[in-house]
Amino acid sequence: MSPPAPPVVVAPPAAMAEPPAVESAAAPASTAPPSAPPGAPPDATKPAAAEGAPSADAPKAEAKAEPAPNAAREVTYVVVPEGLKITVAGVKFLASSAAEQTGGGWGVKVSVEATSDDGKAHSLTKPKAGPLAFAGSVTRKGKSEPDHFGDERAGDGEEAVAGEKAVKLSRTWPIKGVRALAIGDSLDLQVALWGLGTDADSRRPVKQFFQVRMQVDKGKPKAIALPPASASGK
């Protein structure tokens, strides 16, 4: 039996709203060796040794285990006054969000600072709009069903994260084709990373990075960065 995926460690806020789930992937199940057919000799299931190959008793070189490409990654969240601290795959992030007036209504500016947490170099996928990917929904005043939106990736650049110097990332919402928020509207913004790894070949998405919630009433609204719903264990 394969080991279970590592648990997500989280320090959630006192009251946290409910959205999507932290990426996780179960390890492949182990398979048993084939059994010998009836009447076959005891060693029938063993492959024949090639001529000149070392015997079974010869010392074997220790094989280097390759990490599974879809193995679950442990993600930790800590809510702090500055926003949300996130640690994943050897990189430490500080995420924050703020409401901004735009297009006759309200939008959100998302800011993220990234630093290496393990002293190694790391790589972020950086398309034209930057490493941060947006998806989610808007519930408009007077409507019972939300309007959904999502990004389309264009380009494939790279943003390096190495050493103690923070790499600053930012992006604003609404994205193309979506109206800003008016009074009575609310936003559920899901933020992801297009790709994270030690280099370009090992990068893969962080699909449930964090979320931003905002409700527009009278006055300036407040955009709140929160862990994804899956981090709450619900």
User: What CATH number corresponds to the domain at position 143?
Assistant: 2.60.40
pLDDT at residue 137 tops 50: yes
Q: Which residue has the higher pLDDT, 58 or 195?
A: 195
User: Could you tell me if residue 170 is inside a domain?
Assistant: yes
Q: Which residues contact 144 (CB under 8 A, 6 or more apart)?
A: none
pTM for the model: 0.70
Task: With respect to residue 183, please indicate whether it lies within any of the assigned structural domains.
Answer: yes
Q: Which of 62-66, 110-114, 160-164, 196-200 has the lowest mean pLDDT?
A: 62-66
- Is 172 in contact with 107 (CB distance < 8 Å)? yes
**192 pLDDT exceeds 60?**
yes
User: Residue 163: what pLDDT?
Assistant: 82
Q: Summarize the confidence of residues 224-234 as an average pLDDT.
A: 83
For the cut 90, the answer to whether the pLDDT of residue 53 exceeds it is no
Could you tell me if residue 55 is inside a domain?
Answer: no
**Which residues, including other chains, have CB under 8 Å from residue 129's CB and lie 6 or more apart?**
151, 153, 154, 171
| 11 pLDDT above the threshold of 50 | no
**Within-domain flag for 233:** yes
pLDDT of residue 229: 87
In-domain check, residue 195: yes
Q: Give residue 33's pLDDT.
A: 43
Give the DSSP letter of residue 139: E
pLDDT in tens, 115-131: 999 999 999 999 999 99
Q: How far is 94 from 87, CA to CA, in rounded Å?
A: 9
> Does residue 90 lie within any of the structural domains?
yes
- 58 has a pLDDT exceeding 50: no
- Domain of 184 in residue numbering reads as 75-234
CA distances for 125 relative to 160, 190, 199, 200, 205, angstroms: 9, 18, 10, 8, 9
Looking at the predicted structure, is the pLDDT value of residue 65 above 70? no
Q: Is the pLDDT of residue 114 over 50?
A: yes
Residue 19 lies in a domain: no
Confidence (pLDDT) at 27: 35
Do the bridges between strand 122-126 and strand 83-88 make them parallel or antiparallel, or are there none, so unpaired? unpaired
Would you say residue 47 has pLDDT above 60? no
25 versus 118: the higher-pLDDT residue is 118
pLDDT at 8: 40
- pLDDT of residue 208 exceeding 60: yes
Residue 174, preceding peptide bond in cis (omega within 30° of 0): yes
Amino acid at 94: L
Q: For position 30, what pLDDT does the model report? A: 38
Can you tell me the mean pLDDT for 143-165? Answer: 93
- Percent of the chain beyond pLDDT 90? 62
* Average pLDDT, rounded, for the chain: 79
Instruction: Give how many domains the chain has, as a whole number.
Output: 1
Residue 42 has pLDDT above 60, yes or no: no
Q: Is residue 11 part of a domain?
A: no
